[in-house]
């Protein structure tokens, strides 16, 4: 079996992260949206300038999972921006956690552990996650880790407004 390495991403990884982010989001959710809406969303969410900004900002951390030199997954953590009245400047958020479909059940757990440890590196604090209401497997996983549903919001991709759950731990 191929070993998967998990490491903190560097500025030189921006192009890889942009392409990987587009690919993993498309695999996970692409069938839900009109092609032009998905393209517009991916062009904004995974723009190289946006990835560069995350990598340059010490308030954020990005991890990259690699197998035999191929990028197969990524995670992003940083300040919480979810629309909930209890969110404060001290709250952290797991913003992204995606792996290529053929790698599901592999490096995601290790990236999740790395992100949660990084978010709590200065001690316990509230951590938030937004998860699609129909992603039951993720909800079960986060529930086992102590996250509870505390709200909902609409996640828009073009004309589609997905129902997202807001989860919190701490």
pLDDT (tens digit per residue) in 125-158: 999 999 999 999 999 999 999 999 999 999 999 9
The gap from C-alpha 39 to its chain's centroid, in whole angstroms, comes to: 18
DSSP type of residue 112: H
**Distance (Å, rounded) from C-alpha 30 to C-alpha 66?**
23
Residue with tokens 């001690």: 123
- Predicted confidence at residue 3, as pLDDT, reads 86
Is it the case that residue 97 has pLDDT exceeding 90? yes
Q: At what angle do helices 35-45 and 14-29 cross, to 10 degrees?
A: 150
**Distance (Å, rounded) from C-alpha 91 to C-alpha 36?**
34
Q: Residue 128 forms beta bridges with which residues? A: 93, 168
Is it the case that residue 105 has pLDDT exceeding 90? no
Beta strands in the chain (DSSP E): 4-8, 61-67, 70-79, 92-99, 127-132, 148-157, 160-169
Is it the case that residue 33 has pLDDT exceeding 80? yes
Nearest to 68 by CA among 98, 107, 101, 105: 107
Kindly tell me the sign of the dihedral angle through the C-alpha atoms of 85, 169, 139, 149: negative
Which structural domains are found in the chain, ordered by start?
A: 4-169 (3.40.630.30)
pTM: 0.94
pLDDT (tens digit per residue) in 46-73: 999 999 999 999 999 999 999 988 999 9
Answer whether 129's CB lies under 8 Å from 147's CB: yes
Residue with tokens 């505390």: 150
């Amino acid at each position: 079996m191929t070993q998967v390495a998990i490491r903190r991403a560097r500025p030189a990884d921006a192009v890889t992260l942009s392409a990987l982010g587009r690919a993993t989001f498309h695999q996970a959710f692409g069938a839900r949206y009109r092609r032009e809406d998905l393209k517009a969303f991916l062009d904004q969410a995974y723009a190289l300038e946006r990835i560069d900004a995350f990598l340059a900002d010490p308030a954020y951390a990005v991890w990259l999972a690699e197998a035999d030199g191929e990028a197969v997954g990524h995670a992003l953590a940083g300040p919480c921006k979810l629309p909930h009245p209890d969110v404060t400047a001290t709250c952290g958020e797991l913003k992204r956690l995606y792996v290529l479909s053929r790698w599901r059940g592999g490096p995601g757990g290790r990236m999740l552990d790395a992100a949660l440890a990084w978010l709590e590196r200065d001690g316990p604090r509230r951590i938030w996650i937004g998860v699609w209401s129909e992603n039951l497997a993720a909800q079960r996983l986060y529930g086992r880790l102590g996250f509870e549903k505390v709200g909902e919001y609409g996640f828009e991709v073009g004309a589609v407004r997905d129902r997202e759950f807001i989860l919190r731990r701490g």
